Amino acid sequence: MNDRLGRLRDTTINLAHGSGGRAMRELIEDVFVMAFDNPALAALEDQAVFPLADLVRHGDRLAFTTDSYVVDPLFFPGGDIGTLAVSGTVNDLAMSGAKPLFLSCGMVIEEGLAVDILRRVAASMQRVAIEAGVSIVTGDTKVVERGCADKLFVNTAGVGVVPAGVSISARRAQAGDVVIVNGFLGDHGTAILVARQQLALQSDIESDCAPLASLVAAMLDTREDIHCMRDATRGGVATVLNEFALSSGVAIRIHEAALPIREEVKGACEILGLDPLYLANEGKLVAVVPAHAAERVLAAMHAHPAGRHAGVIGEVVAQPAGIVVLHTGFGGQRIVDMLVGEQLPRIC
């Protein structure tokens, strides 16, 4: 029994593609099922179903997360809303130590969007999903009238499994720990600024958008006790450090000279009055580990393509609890607060 309908002939999205009827089914079959190529999705049920026995092999806890993506523009140097939607949710799972397994994909599409844009986004999603070892197994499309959304919003939720013995939490930072990042900060934010032509600079900066699951797996393979880990997306490294300091009731000191920031990113920030500590990243994590574990964790990171430029940027101390302090190159200090207000809307 061939239960496939015809191939999608439309080149732009209209309201019928969100109707629940024939046009929607053609869109889903011809764009998403084709791109995401897996039996769970191809079954066209309203839910994907998997044996729990397959999950239990990976660990003892389920991790579950979601993010919506509204980035503007949809395509930018180094990525697009599809690479972002898969990397971001994979990374939110990985930051708990989980092995990411399954993603969902919910699309809100503006009437009039070119079908080719959806095909490109779906292809990007699948490419990153394969790289990250996850399958996009269930989805949904809605279409809203022209002017009621800005082209395309994507939601991905993700399910993964945390290996037994791993216990990573924003509440576990303690005096004596060190703070590690896996590479250059602020590339994603700068790439978006350049793509929006808000920056009168020629620049080769690309978004760092990437899935970090295999980097985290390499870090966990050291068997060292990673206390905290979070990806530094909206709000940047400054916000993650503040969340750790608040949740753990500790102080965090970071050293300006140790921050890996490209000259081009520094230049863009100087021109625009931005602070690279608050710029969004989409392939950067902040990890807090005991000082004695740093060497082995860093060695594992340096051996991985996404961790080649990893380094220690600071340390955890007891007081003043809840505060992040930056030690500048000139021997000064300043408090690094959480981001107040909005730096760059629709960065992800």
Contacting its own copies within 30-89 (CB under 8 A): 43-53, 55-56, 59-70, 72
Hey, which residues between 92 and 111 contact its own copies (CB under 8 A)? 92-93, 95-96, 98, 102, 104-108
User: Applying CB under 8 A, which of residues 6, 114, 130, 148 lies at the interface with its own copies?
Assistant: 148
- Distance of closest approach, residue 33 Cβ to its own copies, in angstroms: 13
Report helix angle 115-132 to 81-94, nearest 10.
Answer: 30
- Distance of closest approach, residue 263 Cβ to its own copies, in angstroms: 25
Hey, which residues between 247 and 266 contact its own copies (CB under 8 A)? 247-249
- Distance of closest approach, residue 64 Cβ to its own copies, in angstroms: 5
In angstroms and rounded to an integer, the radius of gyration of the C-alpha atoms of the chain is 21
Does 3 contact its own copies by CB under 8 A? yes
Hey, which residues between 326 and 345 contact its own copies (CB under 8 A)? 337-343, 345
User: Applying CB under 8 A, which of residues 123, 246, 261, 317 lies at the interface with its own copies?
Assistant: 246
Report helix angle 187-195 to 263-272, nearest 10.
Answer: 60
281, 155, 162: which is closest to 213 by C-alpha? Answer: 162
User: Applying CB under 8 A, which of residues 13, 84, 162, 293 lies at the interface with its own copies?
Assistant: 162
Element (H, E) at 188: helix 187-195
**How far, in Å, CA of 167 to CA of 173, rounded?**
12
Does 236 contact its own copies by CB under 8 A? yes
- Specify which residues 104 forms β-bridges with: 138
Residues binding its own copies: number (CB under 8 A):
97
User: Applying CB under 8 A, which of residues 207, 214, 233, 281 lies at the interface with its own copies?
Assistant: 233
Q: Please list, residue by residue across 104-134, b when 16 or more beta carbons sit within 10 angstroms of its beta carbon and e when fewer do.
A: bbbbbbbbebebebbbbbbbbbbebbebbeb
- Distance of closest approach, residue 150 Cβ to its own copies, in angstroms: 4
Q: Are 138 and 169 in contact (CB under 8 A)?
A: no
